[in-house]
Amino acid sequence: MQRDYPLAPERHSAPARDVTLEEYLAVLDAHEVSHGVLTAPSFYGADNTILLRALARAPTRLRGTAIVEPETDVSALAALREQGVRGIRLNWVKRKSLPDVATPAWRKLFAAVRELDLHVEIYLEGELLPGVLPVIRDCGATVVLDHFGCPDPAAGVASKGLKLILQALTEGNTWVKLSAPYRLGGADPQRYVDAFLAAGGLSRLVWASDWPFVGHESSITYRQCQNWLKEWLPGEDTRKAVLVDNPRRLFGF
């Protein structure tokens, strides 16, 4: 992230400071992580310049997700894929209103994503997923839900968002990122992890650190994030699936 690039006016957050690719790679090295995925930050909107430059500097080690406009065509998506992008990101959390994903433009985009073997990463409050997730899945696109799918913390495992996630996991083609438990409104992430496993979702769970912990920079460490996963998944074979086997399939490492 660099402040030399203009921040998007519709952003709902911004980093406390600039971070560099060198910093990120050093963090991976210090914690014995061989590969990483750069998630396009919402601060820059659909300008993926910084993301693509970072991917070009570490093409065998990094993959990314990009933010694109719904009018983006297959050739533009294919160009992103050639540069290491493996998914498009819908960062729609904390929005006053959501785009209508059932329109022809969005459906065409999701179909192109499917055609290119990309995925759609969704960062959205879980209770709003019923208006978005079924449409995208109906278009045949693979879906990745950020931060446990963000279930309603008041309802927890009984929330309609989590029930929809569990159904999608059972049916396949939907993945969940075990990341940023501090963004779950105080809910116990272990209950969500147990529910995902009970739904047979082990092969479609991946871990993410959420580094550099935007909004929580002074209270979270990378090692802490690694230790949380050990608590949620005490079995070594189970962790290997989430840390190695699954991301290898999803991101093409």
Give me the phi and psi of 123, to 5 degrees please: -115, 105
The answer to whether position 1 is within a domain reads no
The answer to whether position 15 is within a domain reads no
Question: What tokens appear for 154 in the block?
Answer: 């008041």
Per the structure, the count of domains in the chain is: 1
The answer to whether position 216 is within a domain reads yes
CA atoms within 13 A on the CB side of 234: 3
CA dist., res. 118 & res. 154, Å (int): 33
Q: Name the residue range of residue 222's domain.
A: 21-251
The answer to whether position 213 is within a domain reads yes
Tens place of pLDDT per residue across the chain (253 aa): 445 556 555 555 555 578 899 999 999 999 999 999 999 888 888 999 999 999 999 999 999 999 999 999 999 999 999 999 999 999 999 999 999 999 999 999 999 999 999 999 999 999 999 999 999 999 999 999 999 999 999 999 999 999 999 999 999 899 999 999 999 999 999 999 999 999 999 999 999 999 999 989 999 999 999 999 999 999 999 999 999 999 999 999 9
Q: What is the pTM of this model?
A: 0.93
Q: How far is CA 236 from the centre of its chain?
A: 23
- Alpha-carbon Rg for the chain, nearest whole angstrom, is 17
Please give the DSSP secondary-structure letter assigned to residue 131: G
CB 130 within 8 A of CB 98: no
Question: What tokens appear for 94 in the block?
Answer: 């904390």
The answer to whether position 45 is within a domain reads yes
Q: Residue 201 belongs to a domain with what CATH number?
A: 3.20.20.140
